[in-house]
Amino acid sequence: MTTVQPRNTEYGKPVLRSDYQRSVAAYWNAEEDPVNLRLGDVDGLYHHHYGLGDYDPAVLETPAAQRDQAIIDEMHRLETAQAEVLLDHLGDVRPGDRLLDAGCGRGGSSIMANLRFGCEVDGVSISQKQVDFANEQARKRGVADRVRYHFKNMLDTGFETASRKAIWNNESTMYVDLHQLFAEHARQLEIGGRYVTITGCYNDVTGGRSKAVSQIDQHYTCNIHPRSQYFKAMQANNLVPISVIDLTAATIPYWELREKSSVATGVEAPFLQAYREGSFHYLLIAADRI
């Protein structure tokens, strides 16, 4: 007897449309990294991004029995601070607006946006496991009627044209073609709507990916873009930058603390090298839809 597998589709189209997308989805469906899960366990906000700001050096002086958890708590505080910075740049969002978290991971930033603005938020991911996990967190918090996660491709979501007041990518643009991504975001944003990304990008001035940046790509199965490509793709898709902030110096302390933690993964050294040598930048870019 032949078992028919359910078709992996959204509105009649496959969600995963290339071998690369299937490999990325497989990576995140299999991922159970303590650096994501243990930090999220602190308060139920599960992030898939890095941190901003100086850490409290006192955590390293905590008695041995409590030191590991103190470091975990502090890393999570820095991650949540990063999400707050992103939300600060979404503009004038009202409770009646609708937002989109593109590449939502396990959904922490979407829940934070709902808590801050009171609006509806949809998150999309090509990892069914992440989507299921995030929807369960929204249910536990009693916000599942306002925060919803979908197994969708952020390059073609099927959401209505001009339906979004704001859209963001938090460290997820390195998995897709930027022109395709920004074309889809521009379609979904209302005129005057806001797009924000926080992302790592390699420095064009250095003449290509450094060894450290290539190691980051390999670790995460991603394809880090050059800094210039963001602005070219935005210009081509009616997105006009209003704010560009170099967060590189502000994220280095997070990586220095993470390197000392029990949840270090080995990618800390390439990140620190790339940031310190200037071959890699951590940017926030906010742009308006015209």
Evaluate whether residue 84 is within a structural domain: yes
Burial of 210-243, coded b for 16+ CB within 10 Å and e otherwise, reads bebbebbbeebebebbbbebbeebbeebbbeeee
Handedness of CA 222, 82, 45, 267 (dihedral sign): positive
Paired with 166 in beta bridges are 99, 194
Cβ atoms of residues 157 and 15 within 8 Å: no
Six token digits for residue 27: 């990576």
pTM above 0.85, yes or no: yes
Q: Which domain holds residue 270?
A: 23-96+174-289
**Location of structure tokens 């243990």:** 38
End-to-end CA distance of the chain: 56
Evaluate whether residue 109 is within a structural domain: no
List pLDDT tens digits, range 253-290.
999 999 999 999 999 999 999 999 999 999 999 999 99
SS3 69: helix
**Structural domains counted in the chain:** 1
d(CA 208, CA 227): 11
Backbone angle region of 172, left / alpha / beta, with phi > 0 → left and psi within -120 to 50 → alpha? alpha
**Statement: residue 3 has pLDDT above 90:** no
- Our CA angle for 56, 60, 63, nearest 5°, is 125
> At 285, which CATH number?
3.40.50.150
Average pLDDT taken over every residue of the chain: 95
**Statement: residue 4 has pLDDT above 80:** no
Q: How far is CA 37 from the centre of its chain?
A: 15
Q: With 0-12 CB in 10 A as exposed, 13-18 as middle and 19+ as buried, what is 184?
A: buried
Evaluate whether residue 244 is within a structural domain: yes
Paired with 241 in beta bridges are 287
List pLDDT tens digits, range 171-213.
999 999 999 999 999 999 999 999 999 999 999 998 889 999 9
List pLDDT tens digits, range 96-125.
999 999 999 999 999 999 999 999 999 999
Pairing outcome for strands 9-10 and 13-14: antiparallel
Cβ atoms of residues 68 and 60 within 8 Å: no
Evaluate whether residue 113 is within a structural domain: no
DSSP secondary structure code for residue 238 in this structure:
T
pLDDT confidence tier of residue 20, bands split at 50, 70 and 90? very high
